[in-house]
Amino acid sequence: MKQLFYSLLMLCFFLVSCQSKFEKLQKSKDYAMKLQKADEYYDQRKYSKANTLYEELLTVYKGTKNFENIYYRYANTFYFNNNYLAASYHFKNFADLFPKSAKAEECEYLNALCLYKLSPDYTLDQSNTIKSIGEMQAFVNTHPESKHAREANRSIDESREKLEMKDVYGAELYFKITEYRAAGVAFEQILRKYPDSKSADYYASMVIRSNYEYALNSVTEKQAERFSRVIADYSDFVKKYGNSKYKADMDRIKTLSSQSLKKIEKL
C-alpha cells in the first residue's frame, strides 16, 4: 500500500510539474522558443498543447514566412483531435489564404473530408452530408488528377446513398403510421430522384402498396378511381421490373384491386 501511495504521489508531482512548465511556456515572450516547443508537441502528437501554442503564435507570426506552416499545423491539430467542425473551417480558410501553396490541394480535400466525417446517421439531419457532397464534387472538378480524387468520388457515392436512405426512412415511416397517401407520394419522389437505384423496384412496389392501402381505406365514391390507379401502376411495374422479387406480391395486390373494382361496379 505504501508503495502504491508513493507511486501515485510521484505521479501527481510529475503532472503538476509538467503543467507548471507548460503554463510558464504559455506566458513566455520568447516566441522562437515557443514555436520550437509547439512543433515538438506537434511531432510528438500532443495536439492539444500544440494547438494552444499555435493559436497565440498565429497573431505573432502573421505576415511572416512562418505563418503558412504554423496555420497548416494549427488546422491539423483540430483534425487530429477529432474536432472536425473547427478543422473544416480552418482547412477551407487555409486554401483561401494560400491558394498557391503546395498544401492547398490537401487542405481543400481535408475540408470536404471533415464535413464527410461530420455526417450523422441517416435518420438525422443531413445538412453536413449535403455540404460534404458539394465540397467533394468541387474538389474532384478542380483536381481530377489528385491522389485523393478516387477517395473523394467514393465519399460522394456513400453520401448520396445516405441521402437516399434518409428519404426511404421517411417514406417508410409514413407507411408504418398508415399515412398511405403521403407514403405513396414520398416513394414516387424517391423514384424520380434515384431512377438508377438498385432498390428502384422496391420503391415502385411501395408506391403500389401505399396506393392500394389508400384506396382500401378511402370513402366508397373515391375507391374506383384509386383502385384503377393501382392497376395502372401495376402495369408499369411489370413492364419495368418483370423479374423483381416483389412481383408476386404485386400480382396479389393487382388481383385484389380488380376484385374490389368489380364489387364497386355492382353497387
- Written in H, E and C, the secondary structure of the chain is CHHHHHHHHHHHHHHHHHHHHHHHHHHCCCHHHHHHHHHHHHHCCCHHHHHHHHHHHHHHHCCCCCHHHHHHHHHHHHHHCCCHHHHHHHHHHHHHHCCCCCCHHHHHHHHHHHHHHHCCCCCCCCHHHHHHHHHHHHHHHHCCCCCCHHHHHHHHHHHHHHHHHHHHHHHHHHHHCCCHHHHHHHHHHHHHHCCCCCCHHHHHHHHHHHHHHHHHCCCHHHHHHHHHHHHHHHHHHHHHCCCCCCHHHHHHHHHHHHHHHHHHHHC
Going by C-alpha positions, the residue among 98, 94, 102, 92 that lies closest to residue 139 is 92
Residue 8 has pLDDT above 60, yes or no: no
> Phi, psi (5° rounding) for residue 177?
-95, 15
Which three three-digit cell numbers place residue 67? 505563418
Query: Rounded mean pLDDT of the chain?
Result: 92
Buried b (16+ CB within 10 A) or exposed e, 215-248: bbebeeeebbebbebbbebbeebeeebeebebbe
pLDDT of residue 157: 96
User: Using CA atoms, how far apart are residues 218 and 224, in angstroms rounded to an integer?
Assistant: 10
Residue 11 has pLDDT above 80, yes or no: no
Can you identify the CATH homologous superfamily of domain 178-267?
A: Tetratricopeptide repeat domain (1.25.40.10)
pLDDT, tens only, 216-261: 999 999 999 999 999 999 999 999 999 999 999 999 999 999 999 9
pTM here is 0.83
Provide the residue ranges of all domains of the chain, joining segments of one domain with +.
Answer: 33-81, 84-162, 178-267
The predicted model gives 44-59 an average pLDDT of: 96
Percent of the residues in the chain that have a pLDDT greater than 90, as a whole number? 87
Looking at residue 208, what is its pLDDT?
98
The pLDDT score that the predictor gives to residue 19 is 59
* Per-residue pLDDT band at 3 (split at 50, 70, 90): low
Of 207, 203, 210, 202, nearest to 180 (Cα)? Answer: 210
Domains 84-162 and 178-267 share a fold: yes
Query: In CATH, which of 3.40.50.880, 1.10.10.10, 3.40.190.10, 1.25.40.10 is domain 84-162?
Result: 1.25.40.10
pLDDT of 13 strictly over 80:
no
The tens digit of pLDDT for each residue in 112-132 reads 999 999 999 999 999 999 999
Rg (Cα) of the chain, in Å, rounded? 30
Model confidence over 59-92: pLDDT tens digits?
Answer: 999 999 999 999 999 999 999 999 999 999 999 9
Instruction: Band the pLDDT of 1: cuts 50, 70, 90.
Output: low
